[in-house]
Chains A and B, each alone.
Chain A
Amino acid sequence: MIALLLRLYPAVWRARYGDEFAAILEERPIGPFDVADILLGALDAHLHLRGLASASPSRKGSTMSLRVGGYAAISGALLWFLGLLFGSASETAAVFEALTLVSVVLGTVLLLVALVGLSAFQARSYPRLTWAAFAIPALGAITSLAGLGLTAGLGERPVIGEYSAWYVWMAGTLALIVGSGLFGLATWRARTLSRSGAALLIVGSLAIVPVLVNLGGGGERETWMAFVVTLLAFAAGWLTLGIAALRADRLPSTSLKGAPL
């Protein structure tokens, strides 16, 4: 009887589910309700397998958001780490200065991609909070890139009033870091990705306050320390979020500790 019922299903389906399905049918007596249900199930399997090619665009979209966002966050964060390393050695050789610039530009582009991808995923649960937190860092990243482009083209010449393009880059980068803290707050609240990553981004945005306060001068050592803490927390936060995104895409629910239920 069980073998006969199983034969009603397509071969592809039997290859995947046949053994466990037969084990279930052997666990208890099969009544008329079960037979009718299995007949409908077999019919559905034939129809469903035929339509599989066009199945599930939203799942693909959601997975794509997580994957793209995750990979972009990881590579963007690593490039920012590299930028930090190259930047610390930039006074020893001109090549390090160029490498710093390339790392920061590519890292910023990738973090912008990460912002879009991870926001698209988180917005499924918390659209207003997520997109509100998306706006500032995204605007900051775009401004930062524009500032770098203008710096390369115009050098020290003023572009806004008496301020050179360097100030545009700096303003954009600060907005990116502070805005990433807001994105971290949204992530912390949404609980859909790593809370450790979210906390690091928040720490990064708070650690920049002494830098902003001391931009006018004074306390250089403390300002430099705060700047390093800011950048390290910023990059580590994005790295952690990127890893969490890839784990959420692949691993079971334990990878989303604290996700709302």
Chain B
Amino acid sequence: MPPAVPELGRFAEPALLILVSLSDGPKHGYAIMADVEAGTSRPLGPGTLYAALARLEERGLIEALPPVDRRRPYRLTGIGETVLADQLRELTEFAELGLRRLGRSPG
């Protein structure tokens, strides 16, 4: 199994998608949902989004910015960026292993 964002249980995958979405700059909840859906072609429900956001915020991987109107943007923290880089590196290694076993060269 590919590694997951630690200690997030069933919210590990949505959390990873959110971290990737925030990696190019702050976004509010609706923009994260739209970005994830555009990137994965799978919808991210609002209940799942906020369950994952709350966990990421508690762990200090993201932080909330002052709200604009009623929308509150979130951004990666330094620790969040490090954790995301770790996760992506491990996922890359895992994907390369799978491709090698299939006899197909990575990339």
Contacts and interface: CB of A to CB of B under 8 A. Distances in A.
Contacts of B61: 59
B76 to A, nearest CB: 4
Nearest to B47: A41
B82 A37 contact: no
A50 interface: no
Nearest to A28: B30
A24 B30 contact: yes
A256 B50 contact: no
Given A17-B50, A125-B82, A23 B70 contact: yes
A52 to B, nearest CB: 7
Interface string B58-83: 11110100010111100111111110
Contact of B76 (A20, A45, A192, A253): A253
A21 interface: yes
By secondary structure, the B interface counts as helix
A261 B59 contact: no
Among B26, B45, B67: residue with most chain A CB under 10 A = B45
Contacts of A247: 78
A23 B69 contact: yes
B51 A48 contact: yes
Contacts of A37: 45-48
Interface string A224-261: 00000000000000000000000111111101100111
Contacts, number: 124
A124 interface: yes
A22 interface: yes
Given A48-B54, A256-B81, A256-B82, A261 B88 contact: yes
B79 A252 contact: no
A248 B79 contact: yes
A56 interface: yes
Interface string B19-46: 0000100101110010000000001011
B77 A253 contact: yes
A196 interface: no
14 contacts: A16-B54, A17-B53, A17-B54, A19-B67, A20-B72, A22-B70, A33-B43, A37-B47, A38-B46, A41-B46, A41-B51, A45-B54, A192-B82, A253-B77
Interface of A: 13, 16-17, 19-25, 27-28, 33-34, 36-42, 44-45, 48, 52, 55-56, 58-59, 62-63, 66, 124-125, 192, 247-253, 255-256, 259-261
Given A37-B46, A44-B47, A252-B63, 17 more contacts: A17-B50, A17-B53, A20-B29, A22-B70, A23-B70, A23-B71, A27-B30, A40-B47, A41-B47, A41-B50, A56-B59, A125-B85, A248-B79, A251-B77, A251-B78, A253-B23, A256-B82
